[in-house]
Chains A and B, each alone.
Chain A
Amino acid sequence: MNDAVRPIDTVQITCEEVAELAGLYVLDALEPAERAAVAAHLGTCREAHEEVRELGSVVPALASMAPPIDAPGALRARVLDAVAREATLSAPTPVAASRKLPGRFSTGLTEPARPLRVPAPATWRPPAWASWGAAMVAVLVLAVVGVWGLGIQQRADTAEQRAEVLAQAIAAFAEPGSSVAILRDSANPDASGFAAVSADGRAYLVMVGLPEAPAGQTYQAWYMANDQPVSAGLLTVDADGYAVLAGQPVPGTQAVVLTREPTGGSEQPTSEPFVVGELRPAAA
């Protein structure tokens, strides 16, 4: 080899040197000192350094060359435990309490004990972790609907209205004061989504991965308030398996549930709900 790695002065590294190192930089294949030098340059340079962005755009594709492999089953609990430990280290002392699912249904879906936060003193300020919940759930929302959202934008002629409602739903999900719920069909792991009720009284429900309703049936959404269901409307599943619903919740809505009803819908539920989403504040 004719050349060697020379110490790179983080002050003197040039745009030309950054361009030369761009490929190795985006692959994280530089020595630590060089990597730091490039990062420092990119953080302060007035040039756009498009070459870094362009070469970096290939990196996500490389990951897809690794075939998926199901992780050992025990890893799931290990990961969730590790994250729970992280959360415990930062969170205020929780008080365990059991919760009863709202509604008159015997859903068969039991909810585990959920911590209640100790009332905060007036001078308390939310620590950094307080936003994690909302951020994490927002990531999930985007994981569920993000790519789809982009997809329907490309078919704007047929789905423009749905895309708009979806955008409103995501915005409501992120608004301060909204109440949100993650929705899951326990019998169908492919079906999930979210509900959001904004502080000014708009309600949205998004489900992804629902199959077409069985013949002679339709999906119907219900607001649950004071253990009483009030119809939120029929949920139409598009050919791609997505369903979006917007409306106004009844006062005191605590949860959103889905049932299968005879075609045309029902005034009151005639079947047990297959999705139950208890609304709760989006962020601390």
Chain B
Amino acid sequence: MQADTEALSELYDRYQASMYGLAMRITNDAQIAQDAVQEAFVGVWRNAARYSAARASVRTWLMSITHHRAIDLVRRRRATVALPEAGETVAAALTVPDVWTEVSRSMDSDTVREAMAHLPEAQRQAIELAYFHGLTQVEIAERTQSPLGTIKSRVRLGLQTMRRHLEDLE
């Protein structure tokens, strides 16, 4: 098991800052963020055989799992969303999220912020509430006092606009 442990150490050293930064942005809590990173690596370990380089980079894969775990933890903390029963927690913790192929490899933070800045405020807000705060569409609608259908449209249109912008930068 030495080689795989070494591999995990290497992955940790390379990506811990990005993963912890994302988890902190989502949870705003150092302890929960550490839990998210730890759970993400356990998920990585268990699901390494499912990783496909054809679908996404290692970084994207790791960040997707981290996001998934962090969102799950903040939702459990809020407990306003219907969540799996306690007995299903272990299985849920091992769930592999959808991992999306990157629209662009030019994904430095300035580029993405620029793409985000092109969005109308309401679209940007809806995307941020979903991605960085883990709010569901119902919670976003309540938070922004907007109809559900409007939230669907804002998120869809916002992501479409960002995609076009990021593609143009390729």
Contact B137 A31 (CB under 8 A): yes
Q: Is the interface of A mostly helix, strand, loop or mixed?
A: helix
Q: Which of B140-170 contact A (CB under 8 A)?
A: 140-142, 145-149, 151-152, 155-160, 162-163, 166
Chain B: interface size category? 35 or more
| Given A58-B159, A58-B162, A61-B102, A3:B20 Cβ within 8 A | no
| Given A24-B155, A29-B137, A65:B116 Cβ within 8 A | yes
In the assembled complex, how far is the CB of residue A185 from the closest CB belonging to chain B, in whole angstroms? 13
Known: A137-B3, A139-B11, A142-B57. 15 other contacts (CB 8 A): A29-B130, A56-B100, A63-B66, A65-B112, A68-B17, A69-B21, A70-B16, A75-B16, A80-B5, A84-B5, A87-B5, A114-B2, A139-B48, A182-B7, A184-B10
What is A's interface to B at a CB cutoff of 8 Å?
1-5, 20-24, 26-33, 53-72, 75-76, 78-80, 82-84, 86-87, 91, 94, 114-115, 128, 131-140, 142-144, 146-147, 150, 180-182, 184, 189, 192, 280, 282
Contact B17 A143 (CB under 8 A): no
Contact B17 A57 (CB under 8 A): no
Which are the 3 A-B pairs with shortest beta-carbon distances?
A56-B100, A23-B155, A23-B156
Contact A143 B100 (CB under 8 A): no
Contact A1 B141 (CB under 8 A): yes
Contact B148 A23 (CB under 8 A): no
| Given A21-B152, A61-B102, A69-B21, A140:B11 Cβ within 8 A | yes
Residues of chain A within 8 A (CB-CB) of B77 are none
B122 within 8 A of A: no
Residues of chain A within 8 A (CB-CB) of B46 are 86, 132
The 8 Å CB contact of B41, one of A32, A63, A79, is: A79
Q: A71 to B142, alpha carbons, bound, how many Å?
A: 34
Can you pick out 22 interface pairs between chain A and chain B where the beta carbons lie within 8 Å of each other? A21-B152, A23-B152, A24-B156, A28-B98, A28-B130, A53-B100, A54-B163, A55-B160, A57-B103, A62-B132, A64-B112, A65-B113, A66-B26, A76-B9, A80-B8, A114-B2, A134-B4, A135-B48, A140-B10, A146-B57, A182-B3, A184-B10
Residues of chain B within 8 A (CB-CB) of A30 are 136-137
